[in-house]
Amino acid sequence: MKSALTQALFFGACATTAIGLLACGEDSSTSPSGSGANSAGESISSSYQLLIDENSQTMKLSGQGDFENKCLVNNGVPQWGSVKKRSGEQLVQYKFVGDTLVLSWWDDEDDEFNNLAKMYVGGKAGSIYSTWTSIPCTYKLSSERTNCDDDDIEATEIISITSNSFSKTVTAQYIEETNRKFNYATSDYRYKLFAYLVTGKASYIPLPDYIFGKAVTIGDEYVKQNGNLVSYAELYANYPLSERISMGLHSTEELATFGGIVSTDLSATGETFTYGGISYTVSVLKAIDTDEHTSITVTIATNGITCTNIDESNRHITQDLCKSENMEYLQTDDDTDVNGNKYYYGYKYSQNNFSDFKACLNTILVPQPVVQ
């Protein structure tokens, strides 16, 4: 319940204004159902009747409340829906900083207006009756200071204010950072693949995201021993080859030599190599990795058979991902609505076919471990 102070602040000056509201097969591949990355998520709108007092620069809103779109999970079944996050009776204080509108919402728990206020542009300085768009800035009322952060955009709000109505549309913003660069030729993916062929250890079969990691060789680094500089390669020269490979003492090219792997057409997106008298082609068909979305597809093919290794994830769940067939790929959490009711929702999508890929790879690649 709002305090008596709040009621007096608002109603004491409002007498003049009235309320107005894959696995394995011939050229096979797999892909997730409904995968994709959006720079803008779904929008949701709300509208209120408005009682405004220009003298105290205060607005009282009356409506159904603010809702938030969620991938709600009930009894293991995901369904797109809305959750009420803010009451229909709200009190808002406004002010202008130059031509920027500043809105501070009443906090019932703290029994005061929020000290950090949202900022909006697009209207006319001094007149609240307009359409305003939020900016990634907050205004600290106690110190009258503005702080802006372009990386801190979770949603864009567009509000429209008339003499008797207040409407708001909120659109989630999923900002895609610059995609991480990759180079298959120097990647840890290629190193791990060759290490698998040379050692026969399935633990070396590379995960898709190894495409973005650069192979690191420490064999040429030196350590002081008995006052002399000795390379790590010399220091561990008598160790079994498999151990030296696990320690990163050899380059990818050295691994190829150990296993008799002959490479051709090596590039940033793949290569063709001959191993055990059979020609294989590695292709990076897709490699996207941003703050919001990962989508990687790598294939290894020979004799008309293609093994496809995929990794897909979305850091936010959009409506097209909120489907029953994606339930096993959804990570879930719980929260409460404005009335304290508990609900479950999916907040991240993640899947890969690594197990199937390994099984497929075992049918076309037969490691020939180097004995030492």
Q: Which of 55-59, 147-151, 246-250 has the highest mean pLDDT?
A: 55-59
Task: Look at residue 177 in the predicted model and tell me its pLDDT.
Answer: 61
- Cα gap 46→85, rounded to integer Å: 12
Per residue, what are the HEC states of 210-246?
HHHCECCCCCCCEEEECCEEEEHHHHCCCCCHHHHHH
Give 100's pLDDT tier (boundaries 50, 70, 90).
very high
pLDDT exceeds 90 at position 366: no
Q: Residues 69, 106: contact at Cβ < 8 Å?
A: no
- Please name the residues in contact with 291: beta carbons below 8 A apart, sequence gap of 6 or more: 175, 176, 177, 315
Buried b (16+ CB within 10 A) or exposed e, 51-71: bbbeeeebbbbebebbbbbbb
Q: What is the pLDDT of residues 218-253, one digit of tens each?
A: 877 877 777 788 888 888 888 888 888 888 888 999
Give 29's pLDDT tier (boundaries 50, 70, 90).
very low
- Cα gap 352→310, rounded to integer Å: 5
- Cα gap 207→310, rounded to integer Å: 9
Give 173's pLDDT tier (boundaries 50, 70, 90).
confident
Q: Residues 187, 195: contact at Cβ < 8 Å?
A: no
- Please name the residues in contact with 268: beta carbons below 8 A apart, sequence gap of 6 or more: 182, 183, 184, 185, 284
CA angle (348 as vertex; 345, 353 as ends), nearest 5: 125
363's tokens: 């049918």
Q: For residue 208, give the nearest of 363, 352, 307 by alpha carbon.
A: 352
State the CB neighbour count (10 A cutoff) for residue 133: 14
Kindly state the helix (H) or strand (E) to which residue 307 belongs, with its residue range: strand 305-314
Buried b (16+ CB within 10 A) or exposed e, 147-170: eeeeeeeeebebbebeeebbbbeb
DSSP, res 207: P
- Which amino acid appears at position 19 of this protein? I
pTM value > 0.75: no
- Cα gap 47→65, rounded to integer Å: 8
Q: What is the largest CA-CA distance in the chain?
A: 94
- Cα gap 314→350, rounded to integer Å: 7
pLDDT exceeds 50 at position 258: yes
Give 6's pLDDT tier (boundaries 50, 70, 90).
very low
Q: What is the mean pLDDT of residues 122-132?
A: 91
**pLDDT-above-70 percentage for the chain:** 86
Task: Look at residue 72 in the predicted model and tell me its pLDDT.
Answer: 96
Going from the C-alpha of 202 to that of each of 9, 86, 150, 332, 355, the distances in angstroms are 71, 52, 44, 31, 11
Q: For residue 314, give the nearest of 43, 28, 41 by alpha carbon.
A: 41
